[in-house]
Amino acid sequence: MQKQSTFRSPVLPFLLLTPQVAVVLLFFYWPAAQAVWQSFLLQDAFGLSTTFIWFENYAELLTQPEYYEAVLRTFIFSAAIAGSSLSFALLLAVMADKPLRGSGLYRTLLIWPYAVAPAVAGVLWIFMLHPSLGVLARGLRGMGIDWNPQLNGDHAVTLIVLAAAWKQISYNFLFFLAGLQAIPKSVLEAAAIDGAKPMRRFWTVTFPLLTPTIFFLIVVNIVYAFFDTFGIIDAMTGGGPAKATETLVYKVYLDGLLGGNLGSSAAQSVMLMVIVVALTAIQFRYVERKVTY
């Protein structure tokens, strides 16, 4: 059954769409088109002369080994962030789904971190893991780990992944909890009567029924890791030490705003956009097949 509305005036539906279309045009298509245009240009450092150079910015970008390193780094980041935040959020949601006293309270508390701004989350983790001030860093030192994210690239990556994943957990948690509660209780009861122990019940019934939620969250989390980690990286490491945390989106900022190479920066933005669109398309095309809607 399809519900169809009929309008008396042919103008009204277009009028109703206008605000949405205007917003998308103004804030997405226009800047995107500008980025594409900019990526074909070469500007001198003072912005006094501009030359149209077709694909030279792209060609130069693709010959830089640093660019490939940044691509690889970004993929590692997004896999680590999406993987850890999704699995931890799922664990929390499964536990919060149990009918315990005060569940409303702790469910609310688990959602709050989402309201924290990325930079604030970054600062929070900086202080906890600061090599000389941090509480957690002290503990790590005590365990014999020479913790120093300001000098050690791997430590810096860990720090960013921790902060970025932590911030995303509450968002994932919310969707997982909703997904879990949408599973009919009687199906799980039937599985219990069918002799499935809790772990087996989870992997053979709950998890397959959650796949639509999981799929949606994978897409959202990867896009988050690609773009929204900017604030955290900027606040915590500024891309350092020695480019260890310089992801694609941060490189766009460094080369364009700080390096003044607007043409290359625009080319990188366009590439980034293409990568994310391609990733999402792949996910929809292949992962969705395994999803049981």
Partner 1 sequence: MSNVSLRNVRKTYPGGFEAIKGIDFEIPDGQFCVLVGPSGCGKSTLLRMVAGLETVTSGEIDIGGRVVNEVEPADRDIAMVFQNYALYPHMTVYNNMAYGLRNRGMPKPEIDTRVREAAQILEITTMLDRKPRQLSGGQRQRVAMGRAIVRQPKVFLFDEPLSNLDAKLRVAMRVEIRKLQRRLKTTSIYVTHDQLEAMTLADILVVMNGGQVEQIGNPLEIYRKPATTFVASFIGAPPMNLIPLDGGEIAAQFAGDSRSVAAAGVLGVRPEDLLISTDATATGGIALDLTVEAIERVGPETFVYGSREGAHGVSVNPGELPPGEVIVRIPGQIAPAIGERIRAIAPRDKLHLFSADGRARIDI
Is 204 one of the binding residues for partner 1 (CB under 8 A)?
Answer: yes
Is 288 one of the binding residues for partner 1 (CB under 8 A)?
Answer: no
- Residues 149 and 141 sit within 8 Å (Cβ to Cβ): no
CA distance 177 to 172: 9
Closest CA to 251 of 31, 240, 149: 240
The binding track of 52-81 with respect to partner 1, each residue x by CB under 8 A or -, is ------------------------------
CA distance 261 to 78: 26
DSSP classification of residue 289: G
Residue 52: strand pairing partners: 41
Q: How far is the CB of 200 from partner 1 (least distance, A)?
A: 7
Q: How far is the CB of 189 from partner 1 (least distance, A)?
A: 5
Amino acid at 224: Y
Segment near partner 1 (CB under 8 A), from 107-115, 161-169, 188-196, 222-230? 188-196
- Residues 227 and 247 sit within 8 Å (Cβ to Cβ): no
**Binds partner 1 by CB under 8 A, chosen from 208, 242, 274, 284:** 208
Q: How far is the CB of 146 from partner 1 (least distance, A)?
A: 48
Q: Which of residues 94-133 bind partner 1 (CB under 8 A)?
A: none
How many residues touch partner 1 under the rule CB under 8 A: the total is 18
Is 209 one of the binding residues for partner 1 (CB under 8 A)?
Answer: yes
Q: How far apart are the first and last CA of the chain?
A: 18
**Binds partner 1 by CB under 8 A, chosen from 49, 195, 286, 289:** 195
Q: How many CB atoms lie within 10 A of CB 221?
A: 25
Query: Footprint of partner 1 on this chain (CB under 8 A)?
Result: 184, 186-187, 189-197, 200, 204-205, 208-209, 292
